[in-house]
Amino acid sequence: MTTAAIDDPRYQAILEREKEEEEKRRKIPGMPTEEQSVKITDAFQAAFDELESVAFRVAHIAESDDGAELQFQITFEDLGILYALSSTVRSALNDVERNLKRIDDQAFSLETIRQEQRRALER
């Protein structure tokens, strides 16, 4: 690899990301617990409920023909907040999907390890 490639900020960013992921892996003590699973599930349910509430409210407001019956004025700030929320949640969902794929991809390896551990105990 050339010095120019090593000095490339994009290459350095990849190396930094790999280093951070390796540090995270070293800090993780083991498989997730049921408590952790419940905590994650509850957090997702709470976020879903909140987002669903926003979606219903926005849908109800959007049913207005010209807004004459609304008791408030829709501002650019309101729309900006709505677009930002949508973008942020979509980005988070992409991150969640990537992590779920990582978990799913590793499940087979974990099952193989479990079987090997079991065989070792039987010997």
- Give how far the C-alpha of residue 98 lies from the chain's centroid of Cα atoms, to the nearest Å: 7
Sign of CA dihedral 87, 88, 94, 100: negative
pLDDT tens digits, residue range 78-93?
A: 999 999 999 999 999 9
Rounded distance, CA 122 to CA 116, Å? 10
Q: What burial class does residue 58 get, using C-beta atoms within 10 Å of its C-beta: 0-12 exposed, 13-18 middle, 19+ buried?
A: middle
68: DSSP letter:
T
What is residue 86's predicted lDDT score, i.e. its pLDDT?
96
Confidence of residue 26 (pLDDT cuts 50, 70, 90): low
Domain extent listing, the chain? 1-30, 31-122
